[in-house]
Amino acid sequence: MVQEGRLFAFRWLLPSTQLLLCSVALWPLRPLLIQQVRDSIHAYRVRTNPPLSLPEKQQQLVVPLSPREQLDFETFERLQGREWIPQTLNLPCMLVQLPYVILNQSKQEWVPRHLNFRTWRVISWPLLGILFWWIAGRGIEGLIAARRRLIRPKITWIETVVGAALCGFCAVAAVCMPLFTGRDETFPMKLFVAGFVMWSVLGGLVVAGRVAQSRLRKRLASGAEQAFPLPIAKPQRLTPQIVRFVGEQDGPAERDLKAQLVELLRGEPSVQRAYLALTEQGDGSTAHVTLCLRCSTNKEDRSLLTKLAQIFGNMFNSREHPDVRFLREGEERELCSVCTPFYSSERTSWVAD
């Protein structure tokens, strides 16, 4: 039975958007960045001739800038302010350098030769930040899906720890930076505080998504809530398509249905095991409540569909229908990892309340 449309792919939207914003911000500075990268590459090459030493005493001649040159210099300084945008968008990347800063005697982050730290950040942080934006996107998707009583995508413990670390660190930084940092007119304090607040919220959303999935998983396991409402009229056989098994469909209505299905299947010697599962069909855009049957003959028992239709018609009054799928051996092994059979011909594994 179709239950839900495709979730919006925040895990891909957020990293792509930040890369686009960084590219737009840095585009006017591309000649300077390219030149600095070239100088850094040349610095790592083996030199056959030592550099010429400058005389100890060398007179320096200071030439004042013309009005045109002064205007160009001020314009260049304003363009350099764009370098702060990629840094504020990818503030979690500083946590990656934190262990090196702590263990290094100079207490400075690692920077390639002939590159200043700002140039290194605007080049490396947008690429490294893809990982953090991807985690944030998954957290948003998981939280939205949990509100629709879906556990998808499953947020891992690693993502939860990363989200909690971001939430705590960025919240503390947003409060402490304005209080304990000296005044610097060239430093965009408000922009950095806004970046820390944004990442504190995004990290909290990842943790909230994990908590919502855990609570939903417990409610489904206890039967206090259905994964989806179950208005069913008659069964329909699934066409052979790629199916991903999401989990077990359970709840008060499903228990009544399973009780009657067990009585029917006991008189069907060809049926070995039966599952009531939540599946995704085709491209994953829809979710289905599916009755999965494993038969000993490895053939579809079409006469069984009529008997199933009578049970569904007696219990439910709806135009919606569940799907019936006759499992192959490989499919059953995959299904068993997320769902247990409610009926087995050797022994009945589900007991009605």
What domains appear along the chain, each with residue ranges and CATH number? 10-37+80-219 (no CATH), 236-344 (3.30.300)
Q: In this model, does residue 1 exceed pLDDT 50?
A: no
Question: What is the distance of C-alpha 176 from the center of its chain?
Answer: 29
State percent of the chain over pLDDT 90.
27
Q: In this model, does residue 228 exceed pLDDT 50?
A: no
Q: What are the phi and psi torsion angles at 339 (to 5°)?
A: -150, 140
Does residue 191 or residue 150 have the better pLDDT?
A: 191
Confidence of residue 233 (pLDDT cuts 50, 70, 90): very low
Residues in contact with 130: Cβ distance below 8 Å, sequence separation at least 6, in sequence order = 15, 18, 19
Q: Are 320 and 235 in contact (CB under 8 A)?
A: no
Burial of 21 (0-12, 13-18, 19+ CB in 10 A): middle
Confidence of residue 252 (pLDDT cuts 50, 70, 90): confident
* Nearest residue to 3 (alpha-carbon basis) of 336, 276, 227: 227
- Which residues are paired to 67 by β-bridges? none
Residues in contact with 256: Cβ distance below 8 Å, sequence separation at least 6, in sequence order = 315, 352
User: Residue 78 has what pLDDT?
Assistant: 64
Q: Where are the alpha helices (DSSP H) in the chain?
A: 10-26, 30-43, 67-80, 84-89, 94-103, 117-147, 157-180, 189-222, 252-265, 302-315, 329-336
Across 113-135, average pLDDT: 91
Record the pTM. Answer: 0.60
Q: In this model, does residue 46 exceed pLDDT 70?
A: no
Separation of alpha carbons 179 and 10, rounded Å: 34
Cis preceding-peptide flag for 50 (omega within 30 of 0): no
DSSP label at residue 152: -
Q: Where are the alpha helices (DSSP H) in 104-239?
A: 117-147, 157-180, 189-222
Confidence of residue 309 (pLDDT cuts 50, 70, 90): confident
Place of tokens 């009531």: 276
Across 29-33, average pLDDT: 85
* Residue-averaged pLDDT of the chain: 78
Q: Are 5 and 66 in contact (CB under 8 A)?
A: no
